[in-house]
Structure formats: structure tokens, C-alpha cells
């Protein structure tokens, strides 16, 4: 069983990897959130059966990493943290973690929990290659798991909402998305008060990507993404 261990403390990771290896796990170690997300990109290899995710990471919050993993994959995630309070646990579980283990933990208990979550979802069931991991539209490349966007191989910095908006439209190029639909999917809120926000984000995307024709306004309806001609 392949296990992704996300842990920035090398000593902890080494000790845990040794224990896990003794119990038959093939452990891949990621030292930060970015490495973790990269390791989960579709590959030729056998998919991971479970992710052990430390919440205190140097580059991004473990909760954030969990949310990003969950957006693209149903792989079981066990959060490992020193934060024992109930609110932290609830927050983690709300973000889609399958289980939550508080440090210091008993190794036997951790192993039991790993087996329990891995059993719940047979390996490969939804951890296989995610076809939408990266989208390419002419010069625009959108990497969904890492939320990176580049145009002609130059990375473009987008805000969270700008990315969500672009990713939404890009998943169905040419299809018109109604304004209400975009607002509910990107802002997770109702129509009221956000109409202008949407305009602003569209304008900002057009200018940041330097492709003013990429997102077309469909008057009175919404927007659609027009793939740049190859
Ligand atoms: Ca840590």
C-alpha cells in the first residue's frame, strides 16, 4: 500500500517511515504542501491509498492543503496534529479529512486508523488519474491541483477567486455559464450584491492573462471561455 507522508520534521518523518515500512507500507515523504500536492498529481505509478497530513507545514496551512486535495481527489486523508481542541478537529473533518490523530499518538492506534480509512475506499477507486488535473487552452495552462496558471510558460499570479472563475469556465470551453451559476459556484453565495464583483474579476483575468478575448461576455446571460485558436 502506498502512503504519502506529509511532514516537515525530518526526524519525525524518518521514525514514522521506518515503522510504516515495517508494516508493509511504501512511504513517499513530502516536506511541505507543495511537494504533497505535486506527489498527488496523476502519474503512471500505483495511486496512494492514504495521505498522512501534518497540519503545521512551512509553506501553507495543512487545512488548506487538505482542501486542495479534496477538490481533486477522494483519497483518504488523516490529519496529524498537535492541536487537540474540538474546533480544530471539526474544522479538519469539515474540510474533508477522513480522520484526525493528535500528537503524541500511539503508533498502533495510528496504524489501525490508517487501515480503517484505507479499507473504506479501496485503492484505485477514486484515486486514479484525475483527467482534469491540468487544462491547456492554446497558450494557457491551468494546473488544478496546484492552482497554477501560466500563459506561454510564464506563470500568472491570480487571486483565489480569479483562479476559481477561470477553472470553472475552462472546464467547458465554449459553453455559456450563466452569471447566477458562476456566482453560486465561485462565491458560494446568492446573486445579490455580487454582480459587480463578477465583472471586476472577469476584467482582472482578461488583463492579467493578457488575453482580452479569452473570456467572452454573452450579453444578458453570462460568460464563456473562447479557446484561443491553436
Ligand atoms: Ca510540522
Q: What is the DSSP letter of 122?
A: -
Look up residue 166 and give its three cell numbers: 477561470
Predicted pLDDT at 124: 47
Contact 99, 113 (CB under 8 A): yes
pLDDT digits (tens, 9 = 90+) for 38-79: 999 876 577 898 999 999 999 999 999 999 998 888 888 999
Q: End-to-end distance of the chain based on CA atoms, in angstroms?
A: 42
**What's the residue count for the chain?**
230
Only one residue has cell 500528537, namely: 103
**229 CA distance to ligand 1 middle (Å):** 46
Question: Is 2-118's fold the same as 134-225's?
Answer: no
Domain ranges of the chain: 2-118, 134-225
Contact 35, 60 (CB under 8 A): no
Distance CA 46, CA 129 (A): 10
Residue 189 vs residues 13, 158, 166: alpha-carbon distances, Å: 41, 21, 18
Query: Taking 80 as the threshold, does the pLDDT of residue 120 lie above it?
Result: no
Phi, psi dihedral angles at 198 (to 5 degrees): -60, -45
**98 CA distance to ligand 1 middle (Å):** 19
Look up residue 27 and give its three cell numbers: 512511504
**Arithmetic mean of pLDDT over the chain:** 85
Predicted pLDDT at 223: 95
Contact 40, 4 (CB under 8 A): yes
Question: 134-225 adopts what CATH topology?
Answer: Arc Repressor Mutant, subunit A (1.10.10)
**Considering the domain 2-118 in this protein, what is its CATH number?**
3.40.50.2300
**177 CA distance to ligand 1 middle (Å):** 41
**9 CA distance to ligand 1 middle (Å):** 6
**160 CA distance to ligand 1 middle (Å):** 25
pTM: 0.53
Distance CA 137, CA 151 (A): 9
Contact 127, 47 (CB under 8 A): yes
Look up residue 89 and give its three cell numbers: 478537529
pLDDT digits (tens, 9 = 90+) for 159-193: 988 998 999 898 778 889 888 888 877 877 655 55
Look up residue 12 and give its three cell numbers: 519525525
Amino acid at each position: 500500500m502506498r502512503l504519502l507522508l506529509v511532514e516537515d520534521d525530518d526526524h519525525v518523518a524518518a521514525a514514522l517511515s521506518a515503522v510504516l515500512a515495517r508494516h508493509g507500507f511504501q512511504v513517499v515523504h513530502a516536506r511541505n504542501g507543495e511537494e504533497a500536492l505535486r506527489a498527488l498529481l496523476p502519474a503512471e505509478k500505483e495511486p496512494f491509498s492514504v495521505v498522512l497530513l501534518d497540519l503545521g507545514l512551512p509553506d501553507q496551512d495543512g487545512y488548506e492543503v487538505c482542501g486542495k486535495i479534496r477538490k481533486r481527489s477522494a483519497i483518504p486523508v488523516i490529519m496529524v496534529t498537535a492541536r487537540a481542541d474540538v474546533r480544530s478537529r471539526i474544522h479538519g473533518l469539515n474540510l474533508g479529512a477522513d480522520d484526525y490523530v493528535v500528537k503524541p499518538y500511539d503508533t498502533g492506534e495510528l496504524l489501525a486508523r490508517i487501515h480503517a480509512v484505507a479499507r473504506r475506499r479501496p485503492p484505485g477507486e477514486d484515486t486514479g488519474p484525475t483527467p482534469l488535473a491540468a487544462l491547456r487552452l492554446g497558450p494557457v495552462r491551468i494546473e488544478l491541483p496546484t492552482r497554477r496558471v501560466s500563459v506561454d510558460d510564464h506563470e500568472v499570479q491570480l487571486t483565489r477567486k480569479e483562479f476559481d472563475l477561470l477553472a470553472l469556465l475552462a472546464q467547458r470551453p465554449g459553453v455559456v455559464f450563466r452569471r447566477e451559476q458562476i456566482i453560486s459556484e465561485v462565491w458560494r453565495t446568492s446573486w445579490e450584491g455580487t454582480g459587480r464583483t463578477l465583472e471586476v474579476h472577469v476584467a482582472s483575468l482578461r488583463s492579467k492573462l493578457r488575453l482580452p478575448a479569452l473570456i467572452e461576455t454573452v450579453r444578458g446571460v453570462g460568460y464563456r471561455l473562447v479557446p484561443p485558436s491553436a
